[in-house]
Amino acid sequence: MQLPSAIQLALKFDTTRLQGDLQYVQANDWIQHYRTSHYQGDWGIVPLRAVHGHPSCIHSVPNSSEQDMYAATPILERCPYYQEVLSYFQCRLSSVRLMRLAAGASILEHTDDMGEDERAELRIHIPVQTNPAIDFFINHQRIPMQVGEMWFGDFRLPHSVDNKSTEDRIHLVVDCVVNEWLLEQVRQAEYMQQSLDFLQQIGIETIFSKIDDTTFLPGLKIVHGKLHIDMQQLQYPGDILHEAGHIAITAPEKRMLLHGDTTTNNPQADGDEMLAVLWSYAAAKHLGLPTNFVFHEHGYKRDSAWLIQQFEEARNYIGIHLLEWTGMCTTKKDAPNAFPKMLRWLR
């Protein structure tokens, strides 16, 4: 798999609890980074997982992850939420550190050895405390990380940080041994970014915000024709295309009236649901995304495999006449070998 320079993964952690665990980190737990040629100012580290769990071991040891030499330090054992965050990772972890770049300090451009083949590791950053005046570059691209977000970065590429703010920047940095689960998180994040870019291009507005009420699809809510996304609750990124489909297939004069549950007081709910299914499938095909990104196994009343079989193998596009009727796609007669040949993405 070719890795992106950097990408936000489909998960967000609780900002208040991330920052709350800093109270369990004492001033003398911070150790200056040993690579003094890589930075200017104050760059400190607190080991949370280290070789043999030693609280002063801030460097990695070759082959130590294969030999299960990494263990929690006493500092991690004081921090309940950081333990909870790490339990999310379904892969082996090696080094885990809090990394603090003081106000006015800089990390100079450099590259890191993340290993190769079966010894390769991926590095995840979770900002705990940050500021808009901090410039974080990977491969000369500015990465706008926000508190609580989860980011993969390819640190084999040139990277640097300038803290131009008046407060310290603190990240939770997790080094992960590569496995299929981890690569799938990166793939899903790439698919999600492609979907969001596509929605922006066709004119469906997406807004990242906290959703307080329970929604049919976790982390997603249509608010007056706009799609709100709560990354802390979002479980399946492919659901973004499905909910966008409800907005897309709605007549323009009614689009701004869409709010909350699309089935409430809607006598055409079943037809609209089928249209949204067809639209999301067409969008996925248009973007070159795998069908199971949209039709994931935990949705569609457990009929996702059946839908994939109908669309991919049987070419039985259930409800296609409805999509043709909206004028959004050509008829099967006009495009017999295409599903569906879209004429427009918004009704």
Contacts of 127 (CB under 8 A, 6+ apart): 145, 146, 147, 148, 149, 151, 169, 170, 171, 172
Contacts of 54 (CB under 8 A, 6+ apart): 47, 73
The confidence score (pLDDT) of residue 97 equals: 96
Structure tokens at 332: 């099967």
- Given the structure tokens 């320079």, which residue do they identify? 5
pLDDT of residue 263 exceeding 80, the answer is no
Note the pLDDT tens digit of each residue in 271-295: 889 999 999 999 999 999 999 999 9
Where in the chain are the domains? 6-178, 184-325
CB 45 within 8 A of CB 194: no
- 6-178 placed in CATH 3.30.2000.20: no
Pairing of strands 226-229, 206-208: parallel
Read off the pTM.
Answer: 0.87
Question: Which DSSP letter does residue 329 get?
Answer: B
**DSSP class per residue in 246-300:** HHHTS-HHHHTT-BS-TTTT-TTHHHHHHHHHHHHHHHHHHHT--HHHHS-TTSG
Structure tokens at 89: 């990772």
Mean pLDDT value of segment 125-129 = 98
Structure tokens at 49: 């997982």
H or E element, residue 177: strand 169-177
Better-predicted residue by pLDDT, 39 or 321 = 39
pLDDT of residue 1 exceeding 80, the answer is no
Mean pLDDT value of segment 229-242 = 94
The alpha carbon of residue 345 and the mean position of all alpha carbons in its chain are separated, in whole angstroms, by 25
**Residue 62 pLDDT level (bands cut at 50, 70, 90):** low
pLDDT of residue 336 exceeding 90, the answer is no
**Residue 141 pLDDT level (bands cut at 50, 70, 90):** very high
Bridge partners for 41 per DSSP: none
